[in-house]
Amino acid sequence: MQPFVNFTGVVAPLDRANVDTDQIIPKQFLKRIERTGFGQFLFFDWRYLADGSLDPAFELNQPIRQGASILLARRNFGCGSSREHAPWALSDYGFRVVIAPTFADIFFNNCFQNGMLPVKFDEGDVDELFRRASAAESAGKPYRLSVDLVACEVRDDAGFSRSFAVDPFRRTCLLEGLDNIGLSLRHVDRIAAWESAHGIAAVTGK
């Protein structure tokens, strides 16, 4: 996994609650057997019109949000299916951070597995970010935030600065880009001990 480094990026506000994984990546794109290439299908049903052209009304299609790497969303983001294709699609499109008041559990987990950082802020702070984004955009400028995982802080250049909480183990895994399976396999003796205490014969895998 790529280590997560601090960065400053353009924010794409998506002002909808309960955005589910069926919207993030519709099922017709789950037939691929690779992990890559899902970005082109992100939010497919919202992003494209029936004739295949981009829907100019859709939030992510606004010219001012091109190249966005931070998605600003509403509560219960990523609810629904466990498909990891959802974070694959977000990350392939270029997102590295999603900010929302709450996330669905499985989606939240899946982000960390893919070098993406989900940030939970209070509803009030999220409202504030939506306001700031809209103010910047109406002045013709993309809204940018700096994300600092070392200090666990999100800042803009106009005085917004909030810290966020993140599980310390997951933070380390992100910062160092650690291989989760490799880490767990360091405890293989404990796994084997559990198995023998529970009457499970020694490793049978080929």
Partner 1 sequence: MPASPRTLLDKIWDDHLVCSPEGEQPLIYIDRHLVHEVTSPQAFEGLRVAGRQVRRPEATFATPDHNIPTTDRRLPIADPISKQQIDTLRANCREFGIRLFDLGDADQGIVHVIGPELGITQPGMTIVCGDSHTATHGALGALAFGIGTSEVEHVLATQTLRQSKPKSFEVRVDGELHPGVTAKDLVLYIIGRLSTEGGTGYVIEYTGPCIRRLGMEERMTVCNMSIEAGARAGMIAPDQTTFDYLRGRDLVPKDFDRAVARWATLPSDPGARYDRVEVFSGGDVVPQVTWGTNPAQVIGVDAKVPDPTAMADASDRSSAARALEYMGLESGTPIAAIPIDRVFIGSCTNSRIEDLRAAARVVRGHSVASRVRAMVVPGSGRVKRQAEAEGLDRVFTDAGFEWREAGCSMCLGMNPDTLAPGERCASTSNRNFEGRQGKGGRTHLVSPAMAAAAAVAGHFTDIRQWRYH
- The footprint of partner 1 (CB under 8 A) covers 16-18, 20, 22-23, 26-28, 30-35, 45, 74-76, 79-84, 87, 102-106, 109-110, 113-114, 167-170, 172, 179-181, 183-185, 187-188, 190-191, 194-195, 198, 200, 203-206
Scanning 13-122, the segments in alpha helix (DSSP H) are: 21-24, 44-47, 85-93, 105-112
Tokens representing residue 117 in the block: 């950082």
Nearer to partner 1, 87 or 142 (CB): 87
Half-sphere exposure of 139 (CA within 13 A, CB side): 8
Closest distance of CB 86 from partner 1, Å: 9
Closest distance of CB 68 from partner 1, Å: 22
d(CA 11, CA 130): 10
Decide if 78 contacts 19 (C-beta within 8 A): yes
Closest distance of CB 84 from partner 1, Å: 4
Using alpha carbons, select from 134, 124, 123, 68 the residue that is nearest to residue 101.
Answer: 123
Closest distance of CB 141 from partner 1, Å: 27
Nearer to partner 1, 13 or 87 (CB): 87
Judged by phi (left if over 0) then psi (alpha if -120 to 50, else beta), residue 28 lies in: alpha
Decide if 92 contacts 153 (C-beta within 8 A): no
Nearer to partner 1, 46 or 142 (CB): 46
Nearer to partner 1, 40 or 66 (CB): 40
Nearer to partner 1, 150 or 194 (CB): 194
d(CA 183, CA 149): 21
